[in-house]
Structure 1
Amino acid sequence: MKRFNHFDAASVEEAVSLLNESTGPSYVIAGGSDLMGCLKDNLWMEAPERIVNLKTIPGLNEIRVENDGLHIGALVTLTDLSESDAIKEQWPGLAEAARRTASPLLRNMGTVAGNICQENRCWYYRYPDKIGGRIDCVRKGGKRCLAVPGDHRFHSIFGAVKKCIAVNPSDTAPAFIALNATVKTTKRDIAIDEFFSAEKGAQSTILDRDEIVTEIIVPKPEAGPTSAFRKIAYRKSIDFALVNCAASVAVKDGKIESARICLNGVHNNPRRCETSEELLIGKELTEELAREAGELAVAEAKPLLQNGFKVQMAKTIVADTLMDCTK
């Protein structure tokens, strides 16, 4: 790990000021479960000049239910998110997504903002340079994605973004998308559908380098809605998802009034299943309809030689998650 300067911020304003004062790259840290790995492996082309600690800022670790919905502070841990009675009762898909993230130890450390802001995962991109030297894939300034001709078992089944087929690894991201959340930062309010952007290169979000997530707001459920989350991984206790899915469905008089479905682990960005959502509107949610929605969700899939199995997984998990919304 290369040397850097470490600062404890006393307020959000001070944290932003510290980032702006830096003459080189700088990052914020809270739980550090993703950032520390990136630092140890010298992941980035430019080593950070300074790291700004956000855990010294009071008030960013609160969960509040207000008139407009659920307010989740950026420093709320995944454990707190998964164990909140209010969230389990009104937003069960989100509580389950947090519960299925990583291991208990990592959930105790990891924050909700960190989980949605973590970088995309690919073993070529994240290969430690201390083991055999640096691998310059396209995300590190190379000319091509090395996973395409190499080992791409866990990579995108919906094509590349800027030649890269690394996938977004977050478990809570699809849950927030299914619940139509808003991300509040030091600069603006961002609709969750617009928050993720692998198009910016090595980043996975649209955040500016001096922009900090302060809160995530989830609107109150409509009358009769429910949400659900499912995840397929090699080891349930810790692994990143091969495929995960979140869904939120509102039903009135036995018919679906609104629906939001999101897959992750299948593309550079969390993938909203809008054609599947449109199929559901005005209909009764049955197993047959859920299967049709699953088929539509993967209609545009472009799997490679080694990851075609994820297409069937995605198709099935959409149908199963939707049926969980009826329970």
Structure 2
Amino acid sequence: MKRFKHLEAASVEEAVAALKEHGSAHVIAGGSDLMGCLKDNLWMESPEAIVNLKTIPDLDEIRREDDGLRLGALATLTRIAESEVVREGWPCLAEAARKTGSPLLRNMGTIAGNICQQNRCWYFRYPDKLGGRIDCVRKGGKRCLAVPGDHRYHSIFGAVKKCIAVNPGDTAPALVALDARVETDRRSIPIDEFFSAERGAVSTILEHDEIVTSIFVPNQAEGTRGAFRKIALRKSIDFALVNCAAAVTMQGGVVNAARICLNGVHNNPYRCTASEEYLVGRELTSESAAEAGRLAVAEAKPLLLNAYKVPMAGTTVADTLMDCAGQA
């Protein structure tokens, strides 16, 4: 790890000023992703400074407002998973937080950090100290090395700018299903527009000197049922092979609206719009859920080693929808 300055910000404004002053600086909150990036020399330009956000007061609040839920950027995944407010009003988000990593990681990791973390790929994240830098396309190379190499955990929906690394977040699909907004020091971003892996060695549309301050999750319409499922090699620690969140609004036994999101299958969280459109106006049964699952992966373009994820993703969508149906 190369030497860097450690700066403690007393306010959001002070943190933004530090990022502007130090062009290659990064922020740290929980640090569970950042420290690995630093140790493995992930970025093409090593940061000259790290700006600590934990010293900023009131960025970790969890607050119910008249029109929804306000999560401070530094709210830990453990607090979100255990919050009665979140569990009662937005249960799929609480479940997604509960299934992220291990207890230690949830105690450290923050909600903003979970959605801002770098995409996962062993070529992209290969440590320099183990044999020299591997320049994949996200690190300035000319091609995605996973395509001809080991891509068993990679995108089944093709590449973005040649890269097939997947978004690893567990809370991301839940926030997409719940139609959340990401609030920064300068703008409010709909969650559907927040993720942007095509920008290279970053996973979001955030500018270098832009800081997430909170996440707002609106109240759900009456009759809305939410659920989250995760498939991983081990229940704790491992990133998802596939995960899925759904929020389905029912009126008179018929689906009135639906938002469904897969993750671990594409560069960005993958919104299942064809499934959503199919379900509207239909009863949520095992048959309609299975068809929605089939439609969710109808456009999949898997490679040889990750084709197993296609039926896994479709079944996960169907199972998540049936979890919603079971909440009558």
TM-score normalised per structure 2: 0.99
Give the match for residue 112 of structure 2: 113
Partner-residue secondary structure (3-state), 2:225: strand
Deviation at 1:291? Answer: 0.2
| Aligned counterparts of 1:133 and 1:250: Cα–Cα separation in 2 | 51
Find the aligned partners of 1:256 and 1:218 in 2 and give their Cα distance: 21
> Match for residue 161 of structure 1?
160
CA–CA separation in structure 1 for the residues paired with 2:305 and 2:66: 48
Cα separation, 2, equivalents of 1:99 and 1:312:
25
Aligned position for 1:69: 68
- Code of the residue aligned with 2:62 in structure 1: it is I
Letter in 1 for 2:88: E
Cα distance between partner residues in 1 of 2:196 and 2:120: 14
Deviation per CA, 1:61-107, whole angstroms, max 9, x where unpaired?
Answer: 00000111000000000000100011111111000000000000000
- Find the residue that maps to 1:325 and give its secondary structure: helix
Question: 1: CA distance between counterparts of 2:99 and 2:63?
Answer: 22
Separation in structure 2 between the aligned mates of residue 322 and residue 86 of structure 1, nearest angstrom? 23
Count residues in correspondence.
Answer: 326
Tell me the distance in 2 between the aligned counterparts of 1:224 and 1:149.
47
Distance 1:67 1:122 in 2: 41
For structure 2, the residue ranges without an aligned partner over 5 or more in a row are none
Report Cα offsets for 1:183-224 as digits up to 9, x if no partner: 000110000000000111111000000000000000001111
Residues in 2 aligned to 1:307 and 1:203: alpha-carbon distance in whole angstroms = 24
Q: Per-residue displacement from partner, 1:146-203 (whole Å, max 9, x unpaired)? A: 0000000000000001100000000000000000000000110000000000111111
Q: How does 1:223-242 map to 2 (within 5 A)?
A: 223-242=222-241
Q: What residue is the counterpart of 2:17 in the other structure?
A: 17
What residue in structure 2 maps to residue 7 of structure 1? 7
The aligned runs of 1:286-305 (5 Å cut-off) are 286-305=285-304
Aligned counterparts of 1:63 and 1:224: Cα–Cα separation in 2: 24
Partner of residue 283, structure 1: 282
Q: 4+ residue stretches of structure 1 with deviation over 4 A?
A: none
The 3-state SS of whatever aligns with 1:204 is coil
CA distance in 1, matches of 2:159, 2:283: 36
Indicate yes or no: 2:91 matched with 1:92: yes
Q: Write the distance in 1 (CA, Å) between the matches of 2:21 and 2:164.
A: 34
TM-superposed deviation, 1:37: 0.3
Three-state SS of the structure 1 residue aligned to 2:20 is: helix
Deviation at 1:283, TM superposition (A): 1.1
Opposite residue 36 of structure 1, the aligned amino acid is M
Partner of 1:310: 309
Q: Distance in 1 between matches of 2:24 and 2:236?
A: 34
1:1-327 residue pairs with structure 2 within 5 A?
1-22=1-22, 24-326=23-325, 327=327
Give the Cα separation in 2 of the matches to 1:68 and 1:209: 30
Whole-Å separation in 1 of the counterparts to 2:157 and 2:14: 41
Offset at residue 320 of structure 1 (A): 0.3
- The sequence identity of aligned pairs, in percent, is 74
- Superposed CA RMSD in Å reads 0.5
Structure 1 Cα separation of the partners of residues 67 and 24 of structure 2: 37
Q: In 2, Cα distance between the equivalents of 1:314 and 1:200? A: 26
Counterpart Cα distance in 2 of 1:146 and 1:290: 36
